[in-house]
Chain A
Amino acid sequence: MKRVVSVSLGASSGDFTRNMVLNGSSIEVSRVGCNGDMELAAATIEKLDGNVDAIGLGGIDIYLRVGGEQYIIGDGLRLAQHATVSPVVDGSGLKETLERTTVKTMLRNGDVHPGSKVLMVSALDRFGMAEALVDAGCDCKFGDLIFNMKIDYPLTTLDELKDLARKYRSRLLTVPFRMLYPTGSAQNERAGDTKYAHYFHEADIVAGDRHLILRHMPQEMHGKIILTNTTRPETVTELKSAGVRTLVTTTPDLDGVSGGTNLMEAAVVALTEKPLADITREDYVEWCERLSWQGEKHVLN
């Protein structure tokens, strides 16, 4: 049996282990949350190294892939380097594939249309989704500066995003990741202020990272469409209570759990049995089709 593990900086309360059959192969997938503790995450990776077929890194990226460039997140790379035998992935390869496809499906279904007002809470970590939304003709506001850096300045073009990534690239190597993105218990905190509520109110669609959306969204989200990644039952309940009309997830439900793209990518890496460096974007597309992995739409209200 193949075995893949997601080592996450998120809370351990979301941990799970499932045995599943993917493309005829038995595979054990599990998640180990490290509650934002980088040292624990590093130790966990070291312990798993060589004993599992692939490791996913959750709650942190190793790379930002923006406009054809790849920028390193220092903390993410340093964590990944604690494994020397098992491949470590952050889900960015699969995320790119799944999120573009999901936006295209939304366009076909009429959930997205030219002129849709979109608030994407952060786009540098999912540039593929940002590009797909812009290509669909959406009127986008990208909240990377607002929600990651507390700078009240929405970016509105892909070029601005590319410019930000390029200028900030050396800082990405050294700035502690927790200063840019909530880790551990901070993921469950709610900002509780109304400073940025108007960005949510103005949008038809709120897209991007689940933690950032939940952290900053106002209590009233009546009629909105949410496009986000991994979604757990408690998240669905929270969004439903806020009045969200439709939830579109970029990843499918896997046997009752929402594994996250890092875990799914680790599973693909294990199944392909190819060296990580040889796995292409086309491979991810092919495997997503083979496994029928696609986004899901949930009508909540």
Chain B
Amino acid sequence: MSTNEELSHSLRTFADDCNGNEKLRVMNRDWNRIIHIHADDTQADYTLTSNDGTVVYSEGAPPTCDLRVSATCEILTQVFYGEVSPNEPYNEGTLRVDGSEDDVLRLDFITAMLWEE
């Protein structure tokens, strides 16, 4: 059972991984989006902001967002650590990603580029 602290750490790790991947930074340089992460069970909220190719982590919900990712704290932590492909819980219906199809596709693409072998 993951805690909010672990989820927070996974999100910071995710942001660091994105920022440390030069290719991804270039790919995302024009993808400026605000992503709201919501843990359904603990009601914790976090924000990832992608701006100019850099991803910034912050605590709390954003006033508005382009994408909203929600699941249990455990699933979110696993997804953002790259331990589980988001495909799996998404297809099972235990991970929700609300936003435009293009943005959902892009977020999924980022995770594939970061973690798939």
Cβ contacts under 8 Å, A145 to chain B: 27
Q: Which of B23, B85, B87, B102 contacts A150 (CB 8 A)?
A: B102
Q: How far is the CB of A174 from chain B (nearest CB, A)?
A: 6
Are B87 and A167 interface neighbours, CB within 8 A?
Answer: no
A152 contacts across to B, CB distance below 8 A: 27, 29-30
Interface pair B102/A167, CB less than 8 Å apart? no
Distance between Cα atoms of A76 and B23 in the complex (Å): 30
CB distance from A84 to the nearest CB of B (A): 26
For B109, what are the chain A residues with a Cβ–Cβ distance below 8 Å?
149, 151, 168, 171
User: With an 8 A cutoff between CB atoms, is A190 at the interface?
Assistant: no
Q: Are A174 and B117 in contact (CB under 8 A)?
A: no
Number of interface residues of A (CB under 8 A): 15
Q: How far is the CB of B75 from chain A (nearest CB, A)?
A: 17
**Residue from the set B28, B29, B116 with the largest chain A CB neighbour count within 10 Å:** B116
Chain B residues within 8 Å of chain A by Cβ, number: 20
CB distance from B96 to the nearest CB of A (A): 16
Q: Restricting to B21-51, which residues have a CB under 8 Å from any CB of A?
A: 23, 26-31
Q: Which of these, B85, B87, B105, contacts A179 with CB under 8 Å?
A: B105
Nearest-neighbour CB distance to chain A for B44, whole angstroms, equals 28
CB < 8 Å neighbour of B26 from A150, A153, A174, A179: A153
Complex contact B87–A170 (CB within 8 A)? yes
Provide the bound-state CA to CA distance between A25 and B11, in Å: 64
Chain B residues 68 to 88 lying within 8 A of chain A, measured CB to CB, are 85, 87
Which 6 pairs across A and B sit closest by C-beta, in order of nearness?
A: A167-B116, A153-B27, A167-B112, A151-B27, A168-B112, A179-B105
10 contacts between A and B (CB under 8 A): A150-B102, A166-B116, A167-B112, A168-B112, A168-B116, A170-B116, A171-B112, A174-B87, A174-B91, A175-B105
